[in-house]
Amino acid sequence: MKTVVVAERTRGALRRVSLEIAAKASSFGDTEVIAVKGDRYSPMAWSSAVAEKAKDADLILVGATPSGRDLGARVAAKLGRAYAADCTDLAAKDGALEAKRPMYAGKIRATVKLPSPAVISIRPGAWTLPAGTAAPQVTEIDPAADDPRITFDRFEATASGGKRVSLAEARAIVSGGRGLKGPENWKIVEELADALGAAIGASRAVTDAGWRPNEEQVGQTGKTVTPDLYVALGISGAIQHLAGMTSSKVIVAVNKDPDADIFKIADYGVVGDLFEFVPAFTEAVKKVKGTN
């Protein structure tokens, strides 16, 4: 099966999701990794260039990032291919493709069968990047000319400040909800995140209240994440939030309400006062890691 991986770059470096996809794609057969030259994403120019380059491929893979979802759908439409978005796994069987993806706000996991050729976007973190994996060889292609009938100004990615890794690529995330009672208490989230080397997330209720910036929102209308560890502090577990993090490998929840929905999907749950538990837990983590 001839496979083309469309890689994304941030400040010249391949994004982790592109490395994950490239490492896995080799198991499907002959694989080529391509990237469009330039940092300015232009939907028309990039999709035309990718469609032309990958028109003979049996499978085109992109990351399920904001630009990747947009690009994948456009390429599929241009080539008349089947398209499955936001997938968490993929297998080739009897000349067809079987993709697994969450549906209905994460309430079910569906197996979607697609004819080959197809275009599929893969969630960041869905595929493991083996330690020591070498960066793939990348074929750079020139963007096509923009369609003169359409004026596209620019596509801007919000740069995350500070030393923390972005939510989409984080292997560990500590998220806070309304149970923290106010932005002045967010320090305990930050301290635990620092101890774990984790990114910081937030529920929609928190970002809507203005306690945290929108780029930290995890959920159906925020970011979808699949870290190795997801710690939910004071988050009740609304469907909207669960849709964005239910695929996390290990989920730890801390909430004073024993009936909170977050406990239905948590691997480990603590029923209690987070203001007492979290500082003690943070100190325990520091002790284990030798950083206190």
Considering 88, 107, 141, which residue would you say is the last residue of a domain?
141
- 274 in the same domain as 203: yes
Three-state SS letters, 60-127: EEEECCHHHHHHHHHHHHHHCCEEEEEECEEEEECCEEEEEEEECCCCEEEEEEEECCEEEEECCCCC
- 112 in the same domain as 27: yes
- 58 in the same domain as 93: yes
- 176 in the same domain as 98: no
Residue 44 belongs to a domain: yes
Q: How far is 8 from 51, CA to CA, in rounded Å?
A: 16
Q: How far is 272 from 256, CA to CA, in rounded Å?
A: 4
Rounded to the nearest 10 degrees, the angle between the axes of helix 66-79 and helix 43-53 is: 60
Amino acid type, 28: F
- 92 in the same domain as 198: no
Residue 149 belongs to a domain: no
Q: How far is 70 from 93, CA to CA, in rounded Å?
A: 27
Residue 236 belongs to a domain: yes
Structure tokens at 21: 């996809």
Q: Say if residues 89 and 111 touch (Cβ distance below 8 Å).
A: no
- 201 in the same domain as 85: no
Count of the separate structural domains present in the chain:
2
- 119 in the same domain as 60: yes
For the four alpha carbons of 135, 76, 126 and 260, in that order, the dihedral sign comes to positive
Low-confidence ranges of the chain (pLDDT < 70): 146-163, 291-292
Token look-up 């520091």 returns 286
- 133 in the same domain as 23: yes
- 188 in the same domain as 112: no
Residue 152 belongs to a domain: no
- 10 in the same domain as 113: yes
Extended beta strands in 164-209, E state: 172-176, 199-202
- What pLDDT does 150 receive? 59
- What pLDDT does 193 receive? 96
Show the domain range for 172: 167-289
- What pLDDT does 29 receive? 85
Residue 109 belongs to a domain: yes
CATH number of the domain bearing residue 112: 3.40.50.620
Residue 157 belongs to a domain: no
Residue 153 belongs to a domain: no
Taking residue 232's Cβ as centre, other Cβ atoms within 10 Å add up to 32
- 229 in the same domain as 124: no
Residue 180 belongs to a domain: yes
Phi and psi angles of residue 149, each rounded to the nearest 5 degrees, phi first: -80, -15
Give pTM, 2 decimals: 0.74
- What pLDDT does 102 receive? 85
- What pLDDT does 158 receive? 57
CATH number of the domain bearing residue 211: 3.40.50.1220
Distance from the first to the final alpha carbon of the chain = 52
